[in-house]
Structure 1
Amino acid sequence: MRQAIFALGLAAAALAWPGGATAQMAEDGSAAQPANTQAGARDCPPGFGCVTRRPLPRYVSVKGAEARARRGPGQDHRVDWVYKRPGLPLRVTAEYENWRRVEDAEGAGGWMHYALLSPSRTAIVTDEVADLRASPDAGAAVVARAQGGVVARLLQCQPDWCRISADGTRGWVPKTAVWGVEPGEVFD
């Protein structure tokens, strides 16, 4: 069994791989995910999910203590990944009925039932160490440091900076230091 362990600031969490193929491939090596379609999907606007009519891609987070990513959209499909980290950010890339095709910061993923996902925005620190600053300015005072792999809530994003919260500490980090937000994405 292959396991990928994220380096975390205060707690360790595992991403277990119970199978032997990549998360995106069927056992015969072909692509396993259906297109972002279903009955009536011809009316689906470009860049939006045909089920929810929400933008694609978009970011969500793992809702509970364990979430299984399957090879296809349905419980009869093999489980490829088991995410054991509440709040881990995921990118939704497709929709099919009650299922969402997701990928993590490393590009692995699969199909998850929508009930396993939260709309809460989080980000994972991708730099070895990221300085949290008092304001969105490279010259601002450093209020804390976050190790690579720390998952934080996204509070606000400007074109190049995001305000995050982890373990009760808030600060601004460059977008390039985290995964879970699109370049140029802005929200309050």
Structure 2
Amino acid sequence: MRAIGKRLKRMKGIVGIALVAVLSGGWAHAAPPPQRETPYWASLSASQARMRTGPGRNYPVNWFYQRQNLPVQVLEVYPGWRKIRDPDGAEGWMIGNLVSDQRTGMIKGGTVDLLDAPHDGAKLLWRAEAGVIGTLSRCADGWCRFDVKGRGGFVEEAKLWGVDPGETVK
């Protein structure tokens, strides 16, 4: 009985300290993240992620992804959930922390050239097959810097999924 009494006394002390901290403003309340205008581009942050038919764990899973950094388009934002579209056009809901703001792109179509400068006729550095995923940066004037594990170059934006036509990405 004494052990239970000591635990209760200790818990009362902890609860009291927490209550004082909250009432005095000692603990900052986390402000909700600013709402981004949809649609916007993002990527999968986890190596495994489930897409659901609705914004909740009680909805059935309609896709299971095993490709970290896959570019996705966020269509809607719901507290803790994001409605996304994948490169194949499938749409569904995913837990928000599985979606990253990291900009990635995916080569679409056939094999593409990665060039040393953003214009036709530039020196060929690498080639990438359809489906290859890389990090996007410096998109402007119809070209994007595309980096795959340290090997990068410029690709025409029309050959990428993960960037809007004419979009500027820093």
CA distance in 2, matches of 1:153, 1:167: 9
CA distance in 2, matches of 1:154, 1:148: 16
Match of residue 155, structure 2, among 153, 173, 178: 173
Q: How much does 1:159 deviate?
A: 2.8
CA distance in 1, matches of 2:112, 2:34: 35
Which of 67, 73, 90 is residue 85 of structure 1 equivalent to? Answer: 67
Equivalence map 1:20-31=2 (5 Å): none
Unaligned stretches of 5+ residues in structure 1: 1-50
Question: Partner residue of 2:97?
Answer: 115
CA distance in 2, matches of 1:83, 1:156: 28
TM-score by length of 1: 0.71
CA RMSD of aligned residues (A): 1.1
Distance 2:59 2:102 in 1: 27
Which of 115, 125, 128 pairs up with 2:110? 128
Q: Give the TM-score normalised by structure 2.
A: 0.79
Q: How does 1:1-188 map to 2 (within 5 A)?
A: 52-188=34-170
Max Rg structure: 2
Alignment size in residue pairs: 138
Alignment deviations for residues 76-108 of structure 1 (CA, whole Å, 9 cap, x no partner): 000000110000000000111111100111110
Q: Deviations over 1:126-148 (max 9, x none)?
A: 02101000000011011000000
